[in-house]
Amino acid sequence: MEKTFIRVRSAKDIIIISLLIIAGTVLIVLPTGTAVNITGFFLIFAGLILALVLKTGYKDTETGDKYQKVEHYFQQAMNSSIASAIASKPESVDLAEEGKGNAVKLDVYYSKASGKAYLQLFEYVPYKYEPCSGVYEHDLSKVEKLIA
């Protein structure tokens, strides 16, 4: 199965950006001192910069469904056991081994609205992570341990 996810702005991103711009505008409009006006300009500037770069949501390019992403990092010795686990029983992935290395990355894309989760394993090749497994689709109930 070939799945492609692109980064998009989530509702949380839009709320954060809007709050920063609104707070900055309020501080500029209020008849206060120069320091408060400078703070207002800084908040607006920060909101505009975040509007350009902040994208924490993911969207499936085929269906348009929105997903969230969780990443888990493991040592190289766990590659084969994780690859076999995500293919059939993702709840059997041993999270006690997480964080002991970063040679293998497990990406979990999940959507509570659709009840689906997609898992893919990546292996670190100098300077980037390359896929070393296919994308596996599972019900959200099977991967609850991985997204908690």
Q: For residue range 60-85, what is the model confidence (pLDDT) as tens digits?
A: 988 889 999 999 999 999 899 999 99
What's the whole-model pTM score?
A: 0.82
- What's the pLDDT at 128? 94
**How far separated are the first and last CA of the chain, in Å rounded?**
25
**Residue 134, CA distances (Å) to 18, 119, 139 in order:** 38, 8, 16
Residue 55's Cβ-side half-sphere holds a number of Cα atoms within 13 Å equal to 9
Structural contact between residues 114 and 139, judged by C-beta atoms closer than 8 angstroms: no
- What's the pLDDT at 45? 97
Q: Rounded mean pLDDT of the chain?
A: 92
Local confidence band at 1 (pLDDT 50, 70, 90 cut-offs): low
Local confidence band at 148 (pLDDT 50, 70, 90 cut-offs): confident
Q: In what helix (H) or strand (E) does residue 11 lie, and over which residues does it extend? A: helix 11-29
Confidence check: pLDDT of 140 > 70 = yes
For 96, the 3-state DSSP assignment is helix
Structural contact between residues 47 and 24, judged by C-beta atoms closer than 8 angstroms: yes
**Chain position carrying tokens 């609850």:** 144
Q: Which two tokens stand for residue 80?
A: 């084969």
- What's the pLDDT at 107? 94
Q: For residue range 89-121, what is the model confidence (pLDDT) as tens digits?
A: 988 888 888 888 889 999 999 999 989 999 999
- What's the pLDDT at 94? 85
Largest CA distance in the chain: 64
Q: Which two tokens stand for residue 75?
A: 């040592």
Segment 30-40 shows an average pLDDT of: 93
Q: For the chain, how many residues are written?
A: 148
